[in-house]
Every structure is written in C-alpha cells, then in structure tokens.
Amino acid sequence: MRALAQVPASKSESNRALIMQALAGGGTLRNLSDANDTQLMQRLLQNPAAPVFDAEDAGTVMRFLTAYLAMTGRQAELTGTARMRERPIAVLVDALRALGARIEYLGESGYPPLQLGGLTPQPAPDEEADFRELTVRGDISSQYISALLMIGPTLPQGLRIWLTGKVGSRPYIRMTQALMQHFGAVCRDLGEVLEVRPQAYQPTDYTVEGDWSAASYWYALVALAPEGSHLTLPTLRRYSWQGDQAIVGIMAQLGVHTEFLADETLRLTKTKPVTQLTQDFTDCPDLAQTVAVVAAALGVPATFTGLDSLRIKETDRIVALQTELAKFGGALTDRGEGRFEVTAENFQVENQTVATYHDHRMAMAFAPLAMLGPLTIQAPQVVRKSYPQFWQELGKVGFAIEGVEEEAV
Ligand SMILES: O=C(O)C1=C[C@@H](OP(=O)(O)O)[C@@H](O)[C@H](O)C1
Ligand SMILES: C=C(OP(=O)(O)O)C(=O)O
C-alpha cells in the first residue's frame, strides 16, 4: 500500500475556536471541521436567541453551549439525543448555578435536557476576594472544566477552579488554555488550580489543525498492512495542541513509524510490532478503541488502564468493544481495579458484521480490519459526527466499499 488520505480538521479545536470567536466578536477561522459536531456548533451559535438548542449527540456542543448560554444570561432549552440524555452534566450545572445561573433539569436530575432561566443578580464583587472560586471534579469529563474556563474571562472577578479527583482528558484542558491564550485570554495552570482573570478575548484568526483522533484510524490501517507499506497524511503538526498525538508513540510500538515532513505532512511506514503493550488512556480516551482493535488483530497482548470515561461516551464503549471484538476471536477482559487486558485467539476477519451503537469511533476503529478480510460495518453514516468523508477516503486508498449511501444511522 502506498497512499495519501485526508483527515478532517480537529472538531475539538474547531468547537473551542467557535466559542471564543463568539466571545471575542470576530476573527477568521480557517480549516474548520466539516464534522457534524462542528457544523452543529456553528449553526447553533448563529442563532443565539433560539428557544431550543439541540446538541444532538455532541458532548462538546452540549457542555460548551450550556456554559456559554448560561453565562450570557439566555433563557433557552438545551437538549440532545436519547444518549445525550444519559450523559451526566451535574458537575457543570452545579458550577454554573454557583456562578448565578438559573438552570433546571427537564427530565432526570443530573442529565439533559436543561432549561436555562437567565442569571440571578449577583452581589457586588467582593473587594477582598481576588477570584470567584469553584471546586470542580475532574474525573467525569474534562469538558465541564473547558466549558467553565472559556467563560472565565467574561466574569467580573474571573475564576479560580480547584480540581478534585483524578483528572482525566487533561490534554483537552490544556488545548482550551492554549486556544484561550491564542485569543488573548491568559489562563494560569497551577496543576490542581486553574486561574483566569477577567479579560477581553481579542478577535483573532486561527487555522485549525487536522484531527489526530481521526488520524488514528489511518495508523491502524498501516499497522495491519504488509511490512514496508506507506501512507501520507496532510495537515498534522509536529507540535500539536491535541493530546491524541499520543497515537504516534503508541503506534510506534504496534509497528508504525512516523516521519514529520515539511508542510505539516506525516509519512507512516509499517514496521515490526512489539510483543506486549501497556497503555494508560487517561489522557487520550478516544484512542482506546483504535488501539484495542489493532492489538487484538496483531495478536499483541495488551494491558489498558484509564478507560473509566469510556462508559459515558457515545455508547458504553467497554461493552461495545467486548461484544464486537468477540466476533473476531478478540477479548477485552476486566481484570479489576481499572485494569483491562486485550487478548486474541486465532483472530480472523471473515465477513463478520460489526454493530456500531451510534458511535462513530466503533465504526472507524473496526474499519481497518478490512486490511485482513471482508467485513460489514452497520450504520456507517455514524462517522458524520467527526469524519464525514471517512468512507470516501478509505475508497480512495483502494478499498472496495458498498452501501454507504443507502444506509441511515
Ligand atoms: O474537550 C473535548 O474536545 C473532548 C474531550 C474528551 O472528553 P472527556 O473530557 O469527557 O473525556 C474527548 O473524549 C472528546 O471526544 C472531546
Ligand atoms: C467522546 C466524543 O465526543 P463528545 O464527548 O464530544 O460527544 C468523541 O468524539 O469520541
């Protein structure tokens, strides 16, 4: 295999940049993602007086817009898909209520949909206190913390956040800070404490980088390709704000060598994998499915930790992986205390059908198995959440793909 594949722009960067552009009141964003999550964020921000905001299945849209709309004093309903109504939001709602937002749960307490009822009049800023202080758990979703940080500069006293618990997805918090700085708002990172002074965001241009989570599926394809195979991926930077660049180091162990070429281009080459892998996904949960499938397919026994947040994403990704890997002879076994083992016995790809559970990453993580044999991926349009052109790109590198157009999610 010798090929070139286009990855979409990062949806995480895009959705942050859109919020900051709205708060700054200007700036040009280039290479915005064509992901449904980003298109949705763009559409919803264009109509800020709407009575209802439907975040569909987009976690960043639900969490970032809740904070943005609440702190700009809007009265609106925020809702989402059936799955979104099972994804917790209490940590964020409690924090926003503490900042004066009126928010009610329209269904089950702690979950969307939400009714935003504007802001309660706030007492005059306390001359003595230098910040509004909040204590926020970091072990459920980093998106709550990113959402709060982004509105921090707009608060009269700014914000000091004390993080508690084992903070997951930390690189996404750093990405928020980096983009805030790019838009002129400094956030001090003192480890367990994050501080944002009241400041004005500056209208600034930004060119979004390619999406490293999306790149992981191409790494998987190369990992499963014959030795010596090459693939080129444009728009990815050597110095990235995305924690999922961790795929470079993980896949080096699974037999994919990365060269950073000029013009933000990567060249991947298939080499030999290691015989055993140990990986903590606390910082990069979205890579877990990709790596589990590749380790099982290559027969590399692997120990995974840091998978806690996988149960509350687009589906319970642990159960989904266990069920679907089993169809091929693979297993993801819970060994207790947060440790999982990936194993495979005679892993075979022979016309199995993979269910995708409304989860784009289930579809894209299993698709590279086509390198080893024919298979069917159910509801393939699910990829539109982050990578609408995924199947077209797979077709361009030489895979015969049928049925993508007819299928609805
Ligand atoms: O802030 C972000 O852009 C994201 C944070 C992560 O979520 P959690 O913080 O809930 O782990 C990640 O899984 C998600 O795809 C995108
Ligand atoms: C978890 C994801 O997204 P979100 O939480 O933003 O819905 C994802 O893209 O894998």
> What is the domain-level CATH number for residue 268?
3.65.10.10
Structure tokens at 19: 């919020």
- The closest residue, in CA terms, to atom 15 on ligand 1 is 286
Claim to verify: residue 222 and residue 194 sit in the same structural domain:
no
pLDDT tier, 409 (very low <50, low <70, confident <90, very high otherwise): very low
The predicted pLDDT at position 127 comes to 74
Active site residues: 286
How far is the C-alpha of 145 from the C-alpha of 161, rounded, in Å? 8
Query: Which ligand has the minimum distance to the alpha carbon of residue 386?
Result: 2
Q: What is the mean pLDDT of residues 203-211?
A: 98
Q: What is the mean pLDDT of residues 335-354?
A: 97
pLDDT at 168 over 90: yes
pLDDT tier, 408 (very low <50, low <70, confident <90, very high otherwise): very low
Q: Which residues line ligand 2 (CB under 6 A)?
A: 58-60, 286, 313-314, 361, 386
Query: 405 in a domain, yes or no?
Result: no
The predicted pLDDT at position 125 comes to 74
The predicted pLDDT at position 128 comes to 74
Structure tokens at 12: 């995480």
pLDDT at 366 over 80: yes
Residue with tokens 């009141």: 25
Q: What Å distances lie between residue 12 and 18, 162, 220, 286, CA to CA?
A: 10, 23, 21, 12
The predicted pLDDT at position 215 comes to 98
Instruction: For residue 184, report the phi and psi dihedrals to the nearest 5 degrees.
Output: 90, 10
Residue-wise pLDDT tens digits, 33-65: 999 999 999 999 999 999 999 999 999 999 999
Query: 36 in a domain, yes or no?
Result: no
Claim to verify: residue 158 and residue 216 sit in the same structural domain:
no
Query: What percent of the chain stands above pLDDT 90?
Result: 94
Report yes or no: 36 and 45 within 8 Å, Cβ to Cβ: no
What ipTM score was computed for the predicted complex, to two decimals?
0.99
Range with the lowest mean pLDDT among 59-68, 125-134, 146-155, 258-267? Answer: 125-134
Query: 204 in a domain, yes or no?
Result: no
Structure tokens at 196: 């944002």
The predicted pLDDT at position 126 comes to 73
pTM, whole model, 2 decimals?
Answer: 0.97
Q: How far is the CA of 379 from the centre of ligand 2 (A)?
A: 18
Q: How far is the CA of 122 from the centre of ligand 1 (A)?
A: 31
Among 140, 174, 198, where does a domain finish?
Answer: 198
The predicted pLDDT at position 28 comes to 98
Q: Which atom of ligand 2 is nearest the CA belonging to 63?
A: 6
Claim to verify: residue 185 and residue 162 sit in the same structural domain:
yes
Query: 78 in a domain, yes or no?
Result: yes
The predicted pLDDT at position 406 comes to 54
Q: What Å distances lie between residue 43 and 30, 37, 39, 157, CA to CA?
A: 17, 10, 6, 31
Claim to verify: residue 275 and residue 359 sit in the same structural domain:
yes
> What residues make up the domain containing 296?
212-396
The residues that bridge with 159 in the sheet, in sequence order, are 132, 196
Structure tokens at 364: 């894209």
How far is the C-alpha of 249 from the C-alpha of 269, rounded, in Å? 14
